[in-house]
Amino acid sequence: SQTIHQWPATLVQPVGSPLSLECTVEGTSNPNLYWYRQAAGRGLQLLFYSVGIGQISSEVPQNLSASRPQDRQFILSSKKLLLSDSGFYLCAWSRGTEQYFGPGTRLTVT
Amino acid sequence: KQEVTQIPAALSVPEGENLVLNCSFTDSAIYNLQWFRQDPGKGLTSLLLIQSSQREQTSGRLNASLDKSSGRSTLYIAASQPGDSATYLCAVPGTGFQKLVFGTGTRLLVSP
């Protein structure tokens, strides 16, 4: 069966510090991968998606970036965090029309 | 641009009640609709995926219906339990490759 992992589970970072969130998927190959952000009181916002290694599409202009160094690994990064980057970050994968989500990372920027 | 709305935003019911959550979308040219559950501080769990060719999809006490022409879906929960307390989200594909557009969710509280 397929599983999706995210780490860390929670993170508190000061403004201006770098960020690296990791997502890995097990039990499938060549999945589509997604990064979403859920800010307090707001809906899920798609940030990035990838259909293959090294292929990244950005949905929202921001100070975040994503990379896919391996088939089942998706990384969300920032060089300098802003207060507005605080939120709940969710990674998801799909091979067909249904998406499956990871447990999420709670990021608080102070 | 596809937009998804969920009503009500919050719902509080006593245990045992049957309830209906609503989801509406602006562009009826969808090929499926997905219902998710999210517990506080957790990721999303897929509940039901209903294809555009289907009118209903059932899983246990959950039943999702889809009316593409009117741009609506409902999630029916029978005999609600305190363990059903969570936020329920619906999502439909947006423009582009398998991207989902989410509603803002309905926060459900079932009291014992």
Residue B97 confidence class, pLDDT cut points 50, 70, 90: low
In this prediction, residue B26 carries a pLDDT of 94
Cα separation, B9 vs B66, whole angstroms: 20
DSSP code at position A2: -
Chain B segment 84-103 residues within 8 A of A by beta carbon are 89, 91, 93-94, 96-100, 102-103
Tokens of B91: 């999502």
Partner residue facing B42 (CB), from A42, A43, A103: A103
**Residues B81-94 pLDDT 10s:** 999 999 999 999 88
pLDDT higher than 60, residue B104: yes
Write out the DSSP string of chain B: ---EEEE-SEEEEETT--EEEEEEES----SEEEEEEE-TTS-EEEEEEEETT-SEEEETTEEEEEETTTTEEEEEE-S--GGG-EEEEEEEE-SSSS-EEE---EEEEEE-
| Contact criterion met (CB below 8 Å) for A61 and A78 | no
Q: Span A42-71, mean pLDDT?
A: 88
- Look at B58 and A58; give whichever has higher pLDDT: B58
Burial degree of A19 (CB within 10 A; 0-12, 13-18, 19+): buried
The pLDDT tens digits of the residues spanning B1-10 come to 889 999 999 9
Mean pLDDT of chain B: 93
Are A98 and B34 within 8 A, CB to CB?
yes
Q: What is the pLDDT of residue A32?
A: 93
Question: How many Cβ atoms sit within 10 Å of the Cβ of residue B93?
Answer: 22
- Beta strand B86-93 with B106-111 is antiparallel
CB pair distance less than 8 Å for B100 and A90: no
Q: How far is B25 from chain A (nearest CA, A)?
A: 15
Listed range (A6-20, A35-49, A68-82, B69-83) with the worst mean pLDDT: A35-49
* Sequence-ordered list of residues with C-beta below 8 angstroms from that of A40, at least 6 positions apart, any chain: A87
Asked if B76 is an interface residue toward chain A (Cβ–Cβ < 8 A), one would say: no
Q: Distance (Å, rounded) from C-alpha A64 to C-alpha A76? A: 7
Chain A: closest CA distance from residue B15 (Å): 26
Question: Is residue B33 a contact partner of residue B91, using CB atoms and an 8 Å limit?
Answer: yes
pLDDT tens by residue, A64-108: 999 999 999 999 999 999 999 999 999 999 987 789 999 999 999
For residue A97, what pLDDT is reported?
75
pLDDT of residue A40 exceeding 80, the answer is: no
CB B28 within 8 A of CB B68: yes
Model confidence at A61, pLDDT cuts 50, 70, 90, reads low
Residue-level pLDDT at A76: 97
Q: Do A99 and B89 touch (CB under 8 A)?
A: no
The answer to whether B105 contacts chain A (CB < 8 Å) is yes
Please tell me what DSSP assigns to residue A85: G
